Amino acid sequence: MIKPHGSAELNPLYVNDSAARQNLMRAAESMPGIIVSSATAANTVMLGGGYFNPLTGFMNRADVRRVCDDMRTAADVFFPVPILNVCDDTGPIEGAERIALRDPNVEGNPVLAVMDVAAIETLSTLDLELILSKVYGTTDSKHPGVQEFLAQGKHLVSGPVQVLNFSYFEKDFPQTFRTAVQIRQEINKRGWNRVVAFQTRNPMHRAHEELCKIAMDAVNADGLVIHMLLGKLKPGDIPASVRDAAIRKMVEVYFEPNTAMITGYGFDMLYAGPREALLHALFRQNMGASHFIIGRDHAGVGEYYGAFDAQTIFDSEAVAGALEIEIFRADHTAYSKKLNKVVMMRDVPDHTTEDFVLLSGTRVREMLGQGIAPPAEFTRPEVAEILMDYYRSSGSRQTSAS
């Protein structure tokens, strides 16, 4: 199986020993602490699950600046995005050497992790501008990732962490949430070596399903890991529980047995386009995937990034050789009326727009909201039924990515 990024073995930060974990939980109750942001809580969950290997905790200002400029930590480890604990008030932890990080997303704000404080630093205006321009590619406060980042505050708390639980993800998604450790174990149990990973924050329509199959055939893969984001999205996106149900139905009906795993991870979407695509590839390597699908406008939002920027960034000098995982570069995928199957548009230069079954995301949402199933060439009927039930029950008409 492919090695984790940056080390020979995966080193998750979750305290696996039950007795040690309970002792830390008891000790944490009397520690100074802060209720962290949702983004920091998600980072903590990812560190605990081994997804952010080989990090041992949250980055400091020197790491932030080098990651932004060179995609390397101060210790020269490739990392495309700063992994931060940013807050707006450090008063409760001033002078503390060890603190409790409390969960903002669970009632009662239970302790999520214990952190050894290496430094507390304040990000300057120039620091913030550097992060926004390099990671998000924009300082526009209308960008949902920029907006979320700026809302967290300016104080950077860095140091190693010991993770004590996985927030609400294990409870809310017991069939789906899996750590990188668990996915590696399952891949090994199934005897898979060549594994394709597919990232999704949306329901999977027919084109997504067929794209996964095209990629598996192209790289002669043993299996597919559908890895859905379970954390917070922008307003209007379809809830994780609905996406989960739709994807499970699709796999049950349209995939051969033992060819696809349905899993999810606890992270809040950044919408950072190319830089986030690199992060997605890094933690898919950590979970054991040998190949990762990158499509058009991967991890993008609005018009902030070029259609294939998330692919071409892998060709940059800073990235070359940094990761072992291989990228499957996908084009826009749609059903061909000429060929009666789903194809990548780049593979059929003789086609015109009229030769494809194409629907805008807005039109698909309108149809679902009106109880009208999109064509079977676009959305599997079993999937459409689940989505129509959601729109009927919620009355949702909000704009969401498709």
Q: What is the pLDDT of residues 218-238, one digit of tens each?
A: 999 999 999 999 998 777 778
Res 398: pLDDT: 42
CB-based contacts of 35, cutoff 8 Å, min separation 6? 102, 103, 104, 109
The percent of residues in the chain predicted with pLDDT above 90, rounded, is 91
Q: Is the pLDDT of residue 339 over 80?
A: yes
Res 395: pLDDT: 65
Within-domain flag for 286: yes
* CB of 49 closer than 8 Å to CB of 179: yes
* Domain boundary pick from 153, 170, 187: 170
Average pLDDT value for residue range 18-33: 97
The more confidently predicted of residues 122 and 240 is 122
Structure tokens at 72: 């390397």
Res 402: pLDDT: 36
Are 164 and 199 members of one domain? Answer: no
Q: What is the pLDDT of residues 154-209, one digit of tens each?
A: 999 999 999 999 999 999 999 999 999 999 999 999 999 999 999 998 899 999 99
* CB of 156 closer than 8 Å to CB of 64: yes
Structural domain of residue 37, as residue ranges? 18-170
CB-based contacts of 6, cutoff 8 Å, min separation 6? 53, 54, 77, 78
CB-based contacts of 200, cutoff 8 Å, min separation 6? 208, 226, 227, 228, 229, 243, 247
CB-based contacts of 303, cutoff 8 Å, min separation 6? none
Res 274: pLDDT: 98
The more confidently predicted of residues 249 and 234 is 249
Are 317 and 262 members of one domain? Answer: yes
Question: What SS3 class is residue 96?
Answer: coil
Q: Is the pLDDT of residue 78 over 90?
A: yes
Q: What is the CATH number of the domain that holds 322?
A: 3.40.50.620
**β-sheet with 195-200: strand ranges across:** 260-265, 223-229, 195-200, 291-294, 326-329
Are 239 and 120 members of one domain? Answer: no
Which residue in the list 102, 202, 296, 365 is annotated as catalytic?
Answer: 202
202 classed as catalytic: yes
Number of domains in the chain: 2
72 classed as catalytic: no
Within-domain flag for 6: no
| DSSP code at position 289 | -
CA dist list (Å): 345 to 34, 211, 296, 333, 335 = 50, 11, 12, 6, 9
Question: What SS3 class is residue 340?
Answer: coil
Are 191 and 157 members of one domain? Answer: no
Q: What is the pLDDT of residues 192-201, one digit of tens each?
A: 999 999 999 8
Are 116 and 148 members of one domain? Answer: yes
Residue linked to tokens 């696809």: 260
C-alpha to C-alpha distance for 336 and 354, rounded to whole angstroms: 9
Average pLDDT value for residue range 297-303: 93
Average pLDDT value for residue range 358-378: 90
Q: What is the CATH number of the domain that holds 166?
A: 3.10.400.10
Confidence of residue 392 (pLDDT cuts 50, 70, 90): confident
Which residue in the list 65, 201, 243, 296 is annotated as catalytic?
Answer: 201
Q: Is the pLDDT of residue 399 over 80?
A: no
Within-domain flag for 8: no
Are 201 and 165 members of one domain? Answer: no
* Domain boundary pick from 154, 170, 186: 170
Answer left, alpha or beta for residue 181, where phi above 0 means left and psi between -120 and 50 means alpha: alpha
Question: 50-54, 113-117, 141-145, 369-373: lowest mean pLDDT where?
Answer: 369-373
